Amino acid sequence: MKGRIRLPSPRGTFRVWQRNATIFRKFWKTALGPNLFEPLLYLAALGLGLGAFIQEEGIQGQSYPQYIAPGLLASNAMFAASFESTFNTFVKLKIDRVYEAVITTPVNAEDVVAGEYLWAGTRAALYGTGFLAVLTALGFIFSPDALLVSSFWALLIPPLLLLVGVMFSVMGTLFTSLIGRIDLYAYYFTLVVTPLFLFSGIFFPVDDFPAPIPQIAWFTPLYHAVNACRELASGPSIGVLVDVGWMVVFTAALALVPIYFMRRRLIS
């Protein structure tokens, strides 16, 4: 019984998601601000500041702000889901012991984990939608000839960010399910999240590097999230399906592992 992997129930998963949504409704206004502001800082410092030194023709036919804006949408989703599934989940697991209370109800440990995945995805999508709206507006206001978001396909970015959020929630929850001390997250952020942020093709195209750099990048999750966002922001090619497919397979393959470990932590 102990070793058996259990599949979450949709009902229990929804209840856990609903608990988080209830709390989020209370503080979303204060939470949203910094989350919109931070990517704008990157856009200003790098897009405008560094972008001024980048040649006229830009990158792959795009201006530098145009090039990095969709990537920041992807990384913003990664950060939102990573914080949710690391620090926030750790507090609910070990400090407030929210999960301990929840699993004495018909909601099981596996539902708790799945509900948290879905919630992290939702939060990433919500923040991403706000940021997407701001990028679209900024494009119309400041650079109407080179819009930051120029395709109606961009309407698919929020659901894409839901997938990106769930993917990074699975990764963050896996780390959470294995550690005992909150300070160990420094390793996760320094060794996983930050390198992904810098080397996934947000700020420069990794595909132009010599082998094996592009090949390595292909096996990392944010690379595909950035690709997919960029394609949807400016009109996608068929290649976007490969990126989405990669993320779906990666997420599905990994999703049950944190469920297994979290269940073992919650039920002795």
Partner 1 sequence: MDTETSERLRTGQREATLEARGLRKSYAGGFEAVKGIDFRVYEGECFGFLGPNGAGKTSTMRMIYGGAEPTGGELTVVGLDIRRDERNVKRRIGVVPQENNLDEDLTVRENLLVYARYFDLPRKLAQARADELLEFVQLTDKRGAEVEQLSGGMKRRLLIARALVNDPDLVVLDEPTTGLDPQARHLVWEKLRELTGRGKTLALTTHYMEEAARLCDRLVIMEGGKVVSEGSPRSLIEQHVSPQVLEFRADRGSLDRLLPVVEETADAVENREEEVLVYTAAADALLEKVEASGIPIEHTVRRQAGLEDVFLRLTGRSLTD
Minimum gap (Å) between residue 15 Cβ and partner 1: 5
Element (H, E) at 176: helix 157-178
Cα atoms found within 13 Å of the Cα of residue 194, Cβ hemisphere only = 7
Select the span of 14-22, 123-131, 134-142, 215-223 touching partner 1 (CB under 8 A).
Answer: 14-22
Residues 102-161 that bind partner 1 (CB under 8 A): 102-108
Sequence letter at residue 10: P
Asked if 10 is part of the footprint of partner 1 (rule: CB under 8 A), the reply reads no
Select the span of 50-58, 95-103, 176-184, 236-244 touching partner 1 (CB under 8 A).
Answer: 95-103
Sequence letter at residue 195: P
Provide the residue count of the chain.
Answer: 268
Total chain residues near partner 1 (CB under 8 A): 26
Asked if 15 is part of the footprint of partner 1 (rule: CB under 8 A), the reply reads yes
Q: Which is nearer to partner 1, 99 or 199 (CB)?
A: 99
Q: Which residues contact 161 (CB under 8 A, 6 or more apart)?
A: 73, 74, 77, 121, 124, 125, 128, 129, 229
Kindly report the backbone phi and psi dihedral angles of residue 104, in degrees, each rounded to the nearest multiple of 5, phi listed first. -85, -5
**DSSP letter at 154?**
G
Q: Which is nearer to partner 1, 96 or 207 (CB)?
A: 96
The residues binding partner 1 (CB under 8 A) are 1-2, 9, 11-12, 15, 18-19, 22-23, 26, 96-98, 100-108, 266-268
